[in-house]
Amino acid sequence: MDTHVKRAFTYRFCPADAQAAELSRTFGCVRKVYNMALAARTEAWARQERVNYHQTSVMLTAWKKTEELAYLNQVSSVPLHQTLRHLQTAFTHFFGKRAKYPRFKSRKRSRRSAEYTTSAFRFRDGALALAKMTEALAVVWSRPLPERAKPSTVTVSQDAAGRWSVSLLCEDPSVQPLPATGQAVGVDVGLDHLLALSSGEKIANPRHERRDRTRRLAKAQRSLARKARGEGANRRKARLKVAKIHARIADRRRDGLHKLTTRLVRENQTIVIEDLTVRNMVKNHRLARSISDAAWSEFRSMLEYQAQWYGGEVIAVDRWFPSSKLCSACGTLQDKMPLNVRTWTCDCATTHDRDVNAANNLLAAGPAVTVCGAGVRPQRITPDGQSATKQKPSRREP
């Protein structure tokens, strides 16, 4: 039996007043249940006990019977149980040393969302209706769903800019592996240029945040700073204006990255990148804003899942690999390579563009990583002709 890729199709919608009130109430209950379950598991953890999903599910049943938490019965129970499953997943990642300890959800800063499974929604003839609602949502179907699509989950959310979205998870039979071409490319990310490819092509950095910051964002943020702190209407309007500008920046950035990663995956069967620790790099306050605007982590995430969809491969070379200091022509390793040096000439008389040379070195190192495992680097020759065997230990994230 063929298995198809599951894709999330996201659409905007405008809820009626009653629907907006019901969804806002559901978001609040989801946040409350998540925080209470996290508190219960944290207390048990302090006693050296472990609480799993099934135990928190029993707790939820008991909470609903109390007078103080009786309002939890007013919303659909499915999103409440789903948030307990999400908490279980968060703890699984924590125990597997893939994430930090789960944090409590904030009313102001956390994402407002609720997930419904098949028992809590009805999708028929292009109309989507959720549990506890009598009318279907007014969804703007901006693109068609796969033919005969049957969503397995529906996630409703509202972002900081007040925009409502619904995401339907469906199997998409149109996503099939592409024909094997053997084409490979090395990709070096940067700030001056967003990407440099081993083919010699450079892709400009659009700098979405910087462009809007100089035009509208700075003005909106100054207006927000002048408003008195609290729950006043003027401050709420100013905050919403800032959030809409940030949402516009994020939308444009995401759209550009989707187009770019789709092109790279369709043109190349193997893509070699560098395993950067972005969360450590943004601690450099001089570069943090630019690195965040470039969205290197989001680029890698999109690249990896699209390559998985279409039968490609993404290889991450160890972050300590000296791709910029290594001559891709003769293998000579330079002692230093300051960031302000964009072109340099090796002792073999080869003149390199810093970023393109790094991309070529990454492409050459890719096969070694595939055969021998992550962190393996090719043999390098120092300017004095000696083999560079002493290497820093790999500090890959757990």
Mean pLDDT of 335-354: 85
- For residue 393, what pLDDT is reported? 37
pLDDT range class, residue 386, cuts 50, 70, 90: very low
pLDDT range class, residue 372, cuts 50, 70, 90: low
**β-strand pairing of 270-274 with 313-317:** parallel
Contact between 126 and 87 (Cβ < 8 Å): no
Task: Check whether 383 has a pLDDT greater than 50.
Answer: no
Task: Check whether 330 has a pLDDT greater than 80.
Answer: yes
Angle 17-46/53-64 helices, nearest 10 degrees?
120
DSSP bridge pairs for 165: 12, 157
Is this prediction's pTM over 0.95?
Answer: no
Task: Check whether 144 has a pLDDT greater than 80.
Answer: yes
Task: Check whether 206 has a pLDDT greater than 50.
Answer: yes
Contact between 193 and 215 (Cβ < 8 Å): no
pLDDT range class, residue 276, cuts 50, 70, 90: confident
Task: Check whether 142 has a pLDDT greater than 70.
Answer: yes
Task: Check whether 43 has a pLDDT greater than 50.
Answer: yes
**Cβ-proximal residues to 79 (8 Å cutoff; 6+ apart), any chain:** 26, 29, 30, 114, 115, 116, 120
Task: Check whether 379 has a pLDDT greater than 60.
Answer: no
Better pLDDT: 28 or 336 = 28
Distance separating alpha carbons of residues 190 and 222, to the nearest angstrom:
30
Mean pLDDT of 90-94: 95
- For residue 370, what pLDDT is reported? 63
Counting residues of the chain whose pLDDT is more than 70, the rounded percentage is: 92
Distance separating alpha carbons of residues 3 and 347, to the nearest angstrom:
54
Angle 218-226/233-267 helices, nearest 10 degrees?
150
Angle at 121 between CA 119 and CA 126, to 5 degrees: 135
Distance separating alpha carbons of residues 93 and 389, to the nearest angstrom:
35
pLDDT range class, residue 117, cuts 50, 70, 90: very high
Task: Check whether 377 has a pLDDT greater than 60.
Answer: no
115, 274, 343 from 118: Cα distances, Å: 10, 40, 57
Task: Check whether 395 has a pLDDT greater than 70.
Answer: no
- For residue 331, what pLDDT is reported? 84
pLDDT range class, residue 349, cuts 50, 70, 90: confident
Mean pLDDT of 93-102: 93
Task: Check whether 384 has a pLDDT greater than 50.
Answer: no
Contact between 257 and 299 (Cβ < 8 Å): yes
- For residue 3, what pLDDT is reported? 64
Task: Check whether 375 has a pLDDT greater than 50.
Answer: no
Mean pLDDT of 199-214: 89
Better pLDDT: 243 or 149 = 243
**Per mean pLDDT, which range of 85-99, 111-125, 326-340, 380-394 is the poorest?**
380-394
Better pLDDT: 254 or 376 = 254
Distance separating alpha carbons of residues 315 and 186, to the nearest angstrom:
9
Mean pLDDT of 98-118: 93
pLDDT range class, residue 325, cuts 50, 70, 90: confident
Better pLDDT: 391 or 183 = 183
Mean pLDDT of 141-165: 93
- For residue 333, what pLDDT is reported? 85
Give which of 393, 385, 243 is closest to 318, Cα–Cα.
393
Distance separating alpha carbons of residues 254 and 298, to the nearest angstrom:
8
Mean pLDDT of 128-148: 92
Q: Which residues form the catalytic set? A: 188, 274, 355
Mean pLDDT of the chain: 88
Contact between 6 and 145 (Cβ < 8 Å): no
